[in-house]
Amino acid sequence: MVVKKGALVLLAAGMMMSSGWAAASSVNFVSWGGSTQEAQEKAWAEPFTASTGTAVVQDGPTDYGKLKAMVMSKNVQWDVVDVEADFALRAAAEGLLEPMDFSVIDKSKIDPRFVSDHGVGSFYFSFVLGFNKSKVKSGSPADWSALFDTKTYPGKRALYQWPSPGVLELALLADGVPADKLYPLDLDRAFKKLDTIKKDIVWWGSGAKSQQLLASGETTLGQFWNGRVYALQKDGAPVGVSWKQNLVMADFLVVPKGAKNKEAAMKFLAEASSAKGQAEFANLTAYAPINTDSVSQLDSSLAASLPTAHAADQITLDYAYWAKNGADIASRWNEWLVQ
């Protein structure tokens, strides 16, 4: 039933796209939807269209399978795609992406962690330790070790369910591995640590679910995207956050190989990664800017809630390591998960 309906929608969307939507002077922009994409439209697309006259067509959600299928069938409908950092590196290695044109995009002000030959950062965020204040009786949890301390903090723990950067790192940190010795990941040790709380874990796969778990007190504490915790706090939920050992992860903007509007796409990326575009996006979403010049333009009421304000406690996840080893880790991860 559902599948059929989905297929119809896809078919309709496909027809619309092929019937000239991706005309010459436009950029087809693909992101994850929701408030993030709305902010991207407002902060990047609207000013870009105003200054260049090039329309930006919003599309989505991002789907890696579809991206690969487009490139392989040489029928690329997408010009700029918002993807996760490790995917950006892996897709580049698989030859699915166009190289960035740094004569158009100003690389000098972009934090070097968030730029590669085949992508520029879209925004960055942190995995933070969030907790429900009404469920935490004895003092605020300080760092990831609190997740494994079921005596002091009884209740369920919320963790990100996909085999991607974050969970294994925080388990190792909690087990006493120093931040600079995390990679290559000691998988045996990480899974052994996770074993100790396996029955207490509630997995979340989407931001909405993570918020629901935290705000309702369904989970006492857990690993969350900082923007989602911020949104809950803004709504008055009894939610606290610890930035200690916040784990930095990023989204990248990439151009699929064979994109029809490559030149316009590069210009769009220049706008998106500019100080102004990044600051505006950050002010709308509470995700951090990848352009170092943006920090001064951040909304003062917001600045403290952004990862940029907690640089000293940051641990940057190694996307390159994950890009290379992600598939092997995933197979191991699934094995552990269903045991």
Partner 1 sequence: MAGAVMAEVSSTVRSLPAGADSQGAARTLAAPGRPLSQSRTPQGWLDLQRWRGSAALLPALLFLGAFFLLPLLGLLLRGFTEPQPGLGNYAQLFANAAYARVLFNTFAVATLVTLISVLLAFPLAWVITLVPRGWGRLVLNIVLLSMWTSLLARTYSWLVLLQGSGVINSLLMSLGLIDEPLEMVNNLTGVVIGMSYIMLPFIVLPLQATMQALDPMVLQAGAICGASPWVNFWRVFLPLCRPGLFSGGLMVFVMSLGYYVTPALLGGAQNMMLPEFIIQQVQSFLNWGLASAAAALLVLLTLVLFYLYLKLQPESPVGAGGK
Contact positions toward partner 1, by CB under 8 A?
Answer: 1-3, 63-65, 68, 90, 94, 156, 161-164, 198, 201-203, 205, 209, 212, 216-218, 326-327, 330-331, 334-339
Comparison of 5 and 181: residue with beta carbon closer to partner 1: 5
**Cis before 165 (ω within 30):** no
Cα distances (Å, whole numbers) of residue 235 to 215, 222, 228, 298, 305: 10, 19, 11, 21, 14
Comparison of 301 and 339: residue with beta carbon closer to partner 1: 339
Comparison of 153 and 243: residue with beta carbon closer to partner 1: 153
CB of 23 to partner 1, least distance (A): 28
Residue with tokens 């892996």: 90
Q: 3-state DSSP call for residue 20?
A: helix
Q: 98: which DSSP letter?
A: P
Comparison of 55 and 202: residue with beta carbon closer to partner 1: 202
Strands 221-225 and 55-59: unpaired
CB of 162 to partner 1, least distance (A): 6
Burial of 53 (0-12, 13-18, 19+ CB in 10 A): exposed
CB of 48 to partner 1, least distance (A): 29
CB of 122 to partner 1, least distance (A): 18
CB of 283 to partner 1, least distance (A): 31
CB count in 10 Å sphere of residue 192: 13
**Which residues, 6 or more positions from 57, have their beta carbon under 8 angstroms from its beta carbon?**
21, 22, 26, 27, 28, 29
Tokens of 115: 């730029």
Comparison of 302 and 320: residue with beta carbon closer to partner 1: 320
